[in-house]
Structure 1
Amino acid sequence: MGMKTTRKRYSAQLKAKVAMEAIRGDLTLAELAAKHRIHHTMIGT
C-alpha cells in the first residue's frame, strides 16, 4: 500500500464555528485563519 497524502479534514463543528466568526466580522479572514491554523482561502469558500 502506497502512502497517499490526503488533505486535512476539518470537522463540521470547527467549520461552523469559523463560519460564524467570519460572519460576525470581528476578525479578518487572515486573523481567523491564524487563530484556527487553517488557510484563509478555506474560510473564503
Structure 2
Amino acid sequence: MTNEIRALEKKVGANNADIQKVKEKVKALNDQVQANKKALLQLL
C-alpha cells in the first residue's frame, strides 16, 4: 500500500490533501491491525 501512495505522491505532489487523508487512514488501519494482533496473542 505504501508503494502505491508513494507513486501517487510523485504524480500529484506529496502535499495533495487527498493523499494526506489516505495516509492517515492507512496509518489508522495499521494501528488497528497491530492492536488486533496483540489482542489475539493475549488470547492464545
- If asked which structure has higher relative contact order (CA below 8 Å, sep 6+), I would say 1
TM range (shorter): 0.3 to 0.5
TM-score by length of structure 2 reads 0.39
